[in-house]
């Protein structure tokens, strides 16, 4: 995030970030944009849930 901000990115409005579930990325976004809205990517969420379900029908 620091690299992106140092290259001139600024957000005058509330940032909407769609992330893959990484706690490190979530922390980094919130460190630089404290009022950001974080949304978990539904594709990654679906894959994680399917991986935990039983393989039986």
d(CA 36, CA 14): 6
pTM: 0.68
d(CA 21, CA 43): 11
> CB-based contacts of 19: which residues, under 8 Å, 6+ apart?
25, 26, 29, 38, 39, 40, 41
Predicted local confidence at residue 57, as pLDDT: 57
27-37 tens-digit pLDDT: 999 999 999 99
Give me the residues of the chain with pLDDT under 50, please: none
Predicted local confidence at residue 45, as pLDDT: 82
Predicted local confidence at residue 12, as pLDDT: 85
Give the start-end residues of each E strand in the chain: 16-19, 37-40
Predicted local confidence at residue 10, as pLDDT: 84
């Amino acid at each position: 995030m620091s690299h992106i901000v140092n290259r001139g990115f600024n957000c005058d409005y509330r940032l909407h970030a769609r992330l893959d579930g990484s706690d490190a990325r979530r922390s980094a976004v919130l460190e630089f944009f404290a009022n950001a809205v974080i949304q978990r990517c539904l594709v990654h969420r679906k894959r994680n849930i399917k991986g935990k379900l039983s393989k039986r029908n």
